[in-house]
């Protein structure tokens, strides 16, 4: 899906008196199924078309018009996006998607709720702050240069950017997990490369099931899901068994050494396993997809590429942020309205309503982005342009207290790779477009061919 459309002007309609029937604008859809099929087949295309036609708040009915049906409301204005993340009572994570994540990855910081989440946050937050992530700068630099070195010194080399960035992201993640250059062994790399595409498909598929039977029921689908989970656990347990004992710079040692400042309790071995698994999955597919998209965009825009190559860290950062704007790996985020209902556009959404925000759509909002489809790293290099924009016009890492805990590490990884590559090469994308699959994250649906020529 690459097409874009222009939505109506940004000013918000004046708030009217709250009422219980939502009567929010949106497509009628099929009399029996509503918008169930378009949302299932092409979520991004449907959300973007809805935004183009109805504006910042769009309601989608799932099910028959006359009879029991579900409501899904998409919010595209940065003010609503901010509330979506801030008001965790009104917008809860009690969704089918998070349940599927929990079924596969257990109870970790991303899937925990309430006090349990607050405890895990106290234990994990200090490990990945900007300052903490900067401890890995040397490892990241080393891996970035090693990855570029591996391209060889031929006059021209064509790479599959996704494969290259996946290998790089996995190397960096394994060295930050371990804290030394042993990293993850080849068997584990191969196992992860096999498992990740499976997980990326199975998780959203389980979340979309109309009838989700308990995993204990041995249906063929449940058996496949359970087999993936066992394979993931076996893989991470192999990683943990090789992890260095005692104190060390690696995230795994620090997870083991972490103590809750509010009582001194450590994480259980089970929790350490589930966090490590979450770091691996949350940090690998996302960072590699983001970096791959940035390379594709730079390869299509030689002028911007030269500006970035000459602009040092600031412009490499700006290119990565602009890549995350146009291709945010976490392209749609969902919540369910809590017991007290939620206020949106002067209406009260009843408990249980599905609510979506889409970085993909809001990152193309013409009220906040001039010429939104154009790749322009100066949007982020220019401090004035940056400060003019509302904070939630750009949210590839989510927002609020539950914003991405790995964002500093991920940005450092991508920035270092872009700098190391452009220092050494001019790159050219061999395909103008980059079709994407909509899985648990967006992922190029075919190899991303990029030609690298030494400078």
Nearer to ligand HEM, 204 or 283 (CB): 283
Q: Which residue stretch of 29-37, 235-243, 276-284, 415-423 sits at the interface with ligand HEM (rule: CB under 6 A)?
A: 276-284
Q: What angle do CA 118, 75, 351 make, to 5 degrees?
A: 60
Does residue 38 touch ligand HEM according to CB under 6 A?
no
Listed in sequence order, the residues at least 6 apart from 263 whose beta carbon sits closer than 8 Å to its beta carbon are none
Is the four-CA dihedral 315, 135, 410, 138 of positive or negative sign?
positive
User: Which of 305, 410 has the CB closer to ligand HEM?
Assistant: 410
Does 323 engage in binding with ligand HEM (CB under 6 A)?
no
Q: Is there binding between residue 99 and ligand HEM (CB under 6 A)? A: no
Buried b (16+ CB within 10 A) or exposed e, 99-121: ebbbbbbbbbbbbbeeeebebbe
CA of residue 284 relative to chain centroid, distance = 10
Token pair in block for residue 87 = 């008001």
CA–CA separation, 400 and 88 (whole Å): 9
Check: CB of residue 389 under 8 Å from CB of residue 265: no
Please say which residue, 321 or 429, places its beta carbon nearer to ligand HEM.
321
> Quick one: 55 or 235, whose CB is closer to ligand HEM?
235
| Binds ligand HEM (CB under 6 A): choice among 282, 316, 450, 452 | 282
Stretch that binds ligand HEM, among 13-21, 217-225, 277-285, 338-346 (CB under 6 A): 277-285
DSSP assignment string, 228-277: HHHHHHHHHHHHHHHSPPSS-SSHHHHHHH-B-TTT-PBPPHHHHHHHHH
Residues 371-400 that bind ligand HEM (CB under 6 A): 396-398
For strands 449-454 and 157-160, give the pairing: antiparallel
Q: Is 330 in the site for ligand HEM (CB under 6 A)?
A: yes
Distance CA(379)–CA(297), nearest Å, equals: 15
Say whether residue 406 binds ligand HEM (CB under 6 A).
yes
Q: Least distance (Å) from ligand HEM to the CB of residue 172?
A: 9
Closest approach, Cβ 315 to ligand HEM, in A, equals 18
Does residue 367 bind ligand HEM (CB under 6 A)?
A: no
24 versus 170: smaller Cβ distance to ligand HEM:
170
Residue, CB closest to ligand HEM: 406
Integer Cα distance of 299 and 311 in angstroms: 16
* 287: contact with ligand HEM by CB under 6 A: yes
List the interface residues with ligand HEM, window 107-146 (CB under 6 A): 109-110, 121
Q: Can residue 279 be called a binding residue for ligand HEM (CB under 6 A)?
A: yes
The residues near 340 (Cβ < 8 Å, ≥ 6 apart) are 89, 90, 351
Nearer to ligand HEM, 140 or 450 (CB): 140
Question: Which of 75, 96, 98, 97 is CA-nearest to residue 343?
Answer: 75
Q: Is the dihedral of CA 398, 418, 436, 100 positive or negative?
A: negative
Q: Which of 402, 431, 449, 451 binds ligand HEM (CB under 6 A)?
A: 402
Complex with ligand HEM: residue 123 or 426, whichever CB lies closer: 123
CB of 285 to ligand HEM, least distance (A): 9
Task: Name the site residues for ligand HEM (rule: CB under 6 A).
Answer: 109-110, 121, 278-279, 282-283, 286-287, 290, 329-330, 333, 396-398, 402, 404-406, 409-410
């Amino acid at each position: 899906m690459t097409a874009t459309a222009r939505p109506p002007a940004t000013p918000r309609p004046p708030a009217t008196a709250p009422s219980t029937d939502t009567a929010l604008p949106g497509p009628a859809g099929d009399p029996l199924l509503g918008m169930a099929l378009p949302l299932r087949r092409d979520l991004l295309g449907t959300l973007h078309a809805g935004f183009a036609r109805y504006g910042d708040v769009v309601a989608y009915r799932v099910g028959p018009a006359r009879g029991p049906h579900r409501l899904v409301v998409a919010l595209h204005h940065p003010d609503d996006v901010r509330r979506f993340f801030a008001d965790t009572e009104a917008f809860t994570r009690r969704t089918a998607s998070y349940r599927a994540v929990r079924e596969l990855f257990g109870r970790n910081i991303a899937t925990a709720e309430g006090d349990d989440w607050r405890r895990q946050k106290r234990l994990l937050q200090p490990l990945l702050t900007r300052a903490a992530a900067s401890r890995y700068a040397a490892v990241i630099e080393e891996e970035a240069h090693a990855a570029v070195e591996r391209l060889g010194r031929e006059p021209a080399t064509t790479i599959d950017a996704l494969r290259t960035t996946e290998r790089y992201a996995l190397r960096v993640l394994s060295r930050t997990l371990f804290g030394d250059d042993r990293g993850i062994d080849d068997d584990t790399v191969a196992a992860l490369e096999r498992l990740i595409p499976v997980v990326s498909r199975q998780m959203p598929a389980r979340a979309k099931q109309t009838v989700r039977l308990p995993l204990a029921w041995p249906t063929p689908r449940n058996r496949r899901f359970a087999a993936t989970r066992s394979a993931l656990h076996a893989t991470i347990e192999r990683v943990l068994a090789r992890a260095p004992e005692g104190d060390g710079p690696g995230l795994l040692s620090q997870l083991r050494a972490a103590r809750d400042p509010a009582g001194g309790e450590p994480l259980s071995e089970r929790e350490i396993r589930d966090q490590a698994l979450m770091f691996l999955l949350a940090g690998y597919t996302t960072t590699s997809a983001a970096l791959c998209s940035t390379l594709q965009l730079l390869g299509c825009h030689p002028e911007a590429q030269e500006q970035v190559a000459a602009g040092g860290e600031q412009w490499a950062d700006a290119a990565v942020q602009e890549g995350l704007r146009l291709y945010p790996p976490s392209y749609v985020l969902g919540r369910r309205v809590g017991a007290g209902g939620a206020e949106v556009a002067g209406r009260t959404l009843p408990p249980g309503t599905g609510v979506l925000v889409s970085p993909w759509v809001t990152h193309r909002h013409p009220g906040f982005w001039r010429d939104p489809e154009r790749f322009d790293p100066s949007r982020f290099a220019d401090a004035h342009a940056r400060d003019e924009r509302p904070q939630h016009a750009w949210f590839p890492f989510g927002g609020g207290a539950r914003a991405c805990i790995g964002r500093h590490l991920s940005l450092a990884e991508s920035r270092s790779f872009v700098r190391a590559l452009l220092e050494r090469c001019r790159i050219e994308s061999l395909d103008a477009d980059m079709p994407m699959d909509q899985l648990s994250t967006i992922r190029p649906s075919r190899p991303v061919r990029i030609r690298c020529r030494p400078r």
